[in-house]
Amino acid sequence: MATIKDIATKAGVSVATVSYVINNTRWVHEDKRRRVLEAIKELNYVPNAVARGLRIQKSNAISLIVSNITNPFYPDLARACEQVAAKHGYTVNVVNTDDDRGKLHEALNQLRGGRADGAVITSALPENRDEIEQLLKKGYPLVLASRLLDGLKVDSVAADNRNGAIMAVRYLMSLGHRKIAFISGVKHSYINETRVEGYLHAMEEAGIRLYREWLTSGHGLYEPSYQAARMLLQLPPRKRPTAILCLTDLGAYGVLDAAKDMGVSVPDDLAVIGFDDLFFSGLAPYPADHDPRAKARNERAGHRDAVQQDG
């Protein structure tokens, strides 16, 4: 990591001048200030309390870095992290990156600057690998959640995405579906790649011809998934899917609304499956008489009544 002395050498000024600029404690000539700031940017310098030997106590804060806080999956995750952290005397800072590499870098500066003692990263992409690996080598406590990076030795928590997708496709097939589309998510993310892999494996395993149009992207979000579903439901009858698997529940909501707006009945004409098990997903978006769970309950109740009458 660059030091304050490196900045001074690069800018051609004294260490004291660099300190004045960083801490804004004294007036510095504009030309010298400019050179210092340019050197800070070029050397990617971040004031680090540990490196400067000035850190007296921990920050007692953990950064939770997410890709899109508007996705209902992340508030649930943040709440769980906050509950566990609070038991150990920590607070949680939530940072949203929108899958922007620069924003992830800024979020990780909380670690470098001593403003956080560790980070839970849920927005990792392959292009972030080098930076995360460098932080691990320097001993920063990191956990990857949801999105992993293959081959990187780091503590991590993730779902079995590949087998989850395989199970979903097999379930749809058990209902008689053969024309099954997949609305995927962020390209190259671990979640997207592994769930797509599972989908393709299950389709190939069943010997189903896969049309190119069936694998399309909704970025794991509502509106893009809504538009992707409209495109799928406008395909010619021989290609039009009777079932759609979505990378996320949020995407599945978009599919449900697209089907409704196009007069396509769910589940009569179209089956929809999403991942994440969000709270809202337990609320049936279609009439109770079309809810398979309600139907199953009614069938069980009818069976009990018949047994009681026979007895």
Amino acid identity for residue 32 in this structure: K
pLDDT tens for each residue of 197-230 = 999 999 999 999 899 999 999 998 999 999 999 9
* Assigned token pair, 222: 């509502």
Note whether 109 and 171 are same-domain residues: no
**Residue 224, in any domain of the structure:** yes
Domain count, the chain: 3
Note whether 166 and 271 are same-domain residues: yes
Q: How large a percentage of the chain has pLDDT more than 90?
A: 50
Note whether 85 and 30 are same-domain residues: no
Amino acid identity for residue 69 in this structure: I
Note whether 11 and 109 are same-domain residues: no
| Residue 286 or residue 26, greater confidence | 26
Q: What is the pTM (predicted TM-score) of this model?
A: 0.68
Does residue 196 carry a pLDDT above 90? yes
**Residue 101, in any domain of the structure:** yes
Note whether 66 and 111 are same-domain residues: yes
Note whether 247 and 190 are same-domain residues: yes
Note whether 119 and 210 are same-domain residues: no
Residue 47: predicted pLDDT? 67
**Residue 130, in any domain of the structure:** yes
Note whether 11 and 115 are same-domain residues: no
Note whether 142 and 184 are same-domain residues: no
**Residue 285, in any domain of the structure:** no
> pLDDT confidence of 285, banded at 50, 70, 90?
low
Residue 292: predicted pLDDT? 43
**Residue 194, in any domain of the structure:** yes
Does residue 281 carry a pLDDT above 90? no
Residue 276: predicted pLDDT? 84
Q: Which residues of 88-111 are buried (b: 16+ CB within 10 A; e: fewer)?
A: eebebbbbbbebeeebbeebbbbb
Note whether 69 and 9 are same-domain residues: no
| Residue 138 or residue 252, greater confidence | 252
Q: At what angle do helices 222-233 and 249-261 cross, to 10 degrees?
A: 50
Residue 284: predicted pLDDT? 54
Please say whether the beta carbons of 106 and 119 come within 8 A: no
Residue 48: predicted pLDDT? 58
Residue 72: predicted pLDDT? 83
Q: Lowest mean pLDDT: which of 21-35, 41-55, 133-147, 192-206?
A: 41-55
Note whether 190 and 269 are same-domain residues: yes
**Residue 25, in any domain of the structure:** yes
Q: How large a percentage of the chain has pLDDT more than 70?
A: 87
**Residue 136, in any domain of the structure:** yes
Residue 237: predicted pLDDT? 93
Q: Region 113-128: what's the mean pLDDT? A: 89
Does residue 168 carry a pLDDT above 90? yes
What is the domain extent for residue 261?
A: 161-277
**Residue 125, in any domain of the structure:** yes
* Assigned token pair, 163: 């087998």
Among 284, 237, 285, CA closest to 259: 285
What is the C-alpha separation between 88 and 223, in angstroms, rounded?
39
Among 139, 137, 135, 157, CA closest to 148: 157
CATH of the domain at 66: 3.40.50.2300
Note whether 130 and 211 are same-domain residues: no
